[in-house]
Amino acid sequence: MPGTLDMLILKAISLAPMHGYAIAQHLRQVSQDILQVEEGSLYPALQRVLGKGWAKAEWRETPTKRRARYYTITAAGRRRLGDEVASFQRMQGAIQRVLRTQE
């Protein structure tokens, strides 16, 4: 679903600032390996999120002393996330209701 990846990214970085690899890890672990993205495809989405002003990025050192680019959610990003989640849930609820009536 278009925009879903953006939503997932926003959700991840809303918990804490993360770099690309960490976001991929996070999605994979939280979804118990069901959500497996080609990790490279995170980057166009991250650029989009940056472009819309939903997140900010800066190079920082990781706890393991590497340099990585950390993404931090902005206020606009949080608002957007709220909207996305709400509409996603509405959609999901609708789909479930449809599926249930068919049983």
Partner 1 sequence: MLEFLRSLWFRIGSRVRRDSLDSELADELRAHREFLEEEARRTGATEDEAARMAALRLGNGTVIRERTRDAWSFGWLEALARDARYAGRFLRKSPGFTTVAVLSLALGIGANAAVFTVVDRLLLRPPPLVTDPGNVYAVNVRRISNPAKPRPFYSAMMFRETLALQETARSFTAVVPYTAPGRWRLGRGPDAPRIRGSMVAGNFFTVLGVRPALGRFFSPDDARPDVAEHAAVISHGFWERHFAGAPSALGTHLLLSGVDVTVIGVAPRGFSGVEMDAADVWVPLESVAPIRIQSNWQEWDGFGSKAFVRLRDGVSPTAADAEATLILRRLPDREKYGKSEETVRLGSVIPGRAVAEQPAEVKVSSRLVIAAALVMLAACANLANLLLVRALTRRREIALRLAVGITRRRLVGQLMLESLIIAGLGAGAAMLAAQWGGGALRSLVFPQMQWASGTLDRRVLFFSMACATAVALLATLAPAIRMTRADVALALRSASPQLAMSTGRWRQGLLAVQVALSVLLIVGAAAFGQSLRRAYDFDMGVDVNRVITTRLFLEDDSLDGAGRRLMLDEARRRARVIPGVERLSIAESVPLSGNGVTRVSVPRGDSGFSVVWSVTPDLQETLGFRLLSGRWIQPEDARGNPVVLVSETMARRLWPEANPLGQCARFGADSAPCREVVGVIGDLRTRSIREEAPMAALLSTRELDLDELGAYLVIRASGDPRKLMPQLHNAFRDVRPDLATVEIKTLSEQLDYDYRPLRLGTAMFGMFAVLAVILAGVGLFGILAFSVAQRTSELGIRSALGARAGNLVRLVVGEGLVIVVVGLVVGGLASWYASVAVQSLLFDTTVRSAVPFAAAAVLLGVVALCASAIPAWRAARVDPAIALRAE
At its nearest, how many Å lie between partner 1 and the CB of residue 88?
Answer: 19
At its nearest, how many Å lie between partner 1 and the CB of residue 97?
Answer: 32
Nearer to partner 1, 11 or 37 (CB): 37
What DSSP character marks residue 41? Answer: G
How many residues are given for the chain? 103
Nearer to partner 1, 36 or 96 (CB): 36
Residues 97, 75: Cα–Cα separation, whole Å: 33
Residues 36, 66: Cα–Cα separation, whole Å: 25
Nearer to partner 1, 40 or 98 (CB): 40
80 is written with which tokens? Answer: 């957007």
User: CB–CB of 39/60 below 8 Å?
Assistant: no
Nearer to partner 1, 43 or 92 (CB): 43
At its nearest, how many Å lie between partner 1 and the CB of residue 93?
Answer: 27
Residues at the interface with partner 1 (CB under 8 A): 19-21, 24, 38-41, 43-44, 47-48, 50-53, 66-69, 76
User: CB–CB of 20/46 below 8 Å?
Assistant: yes
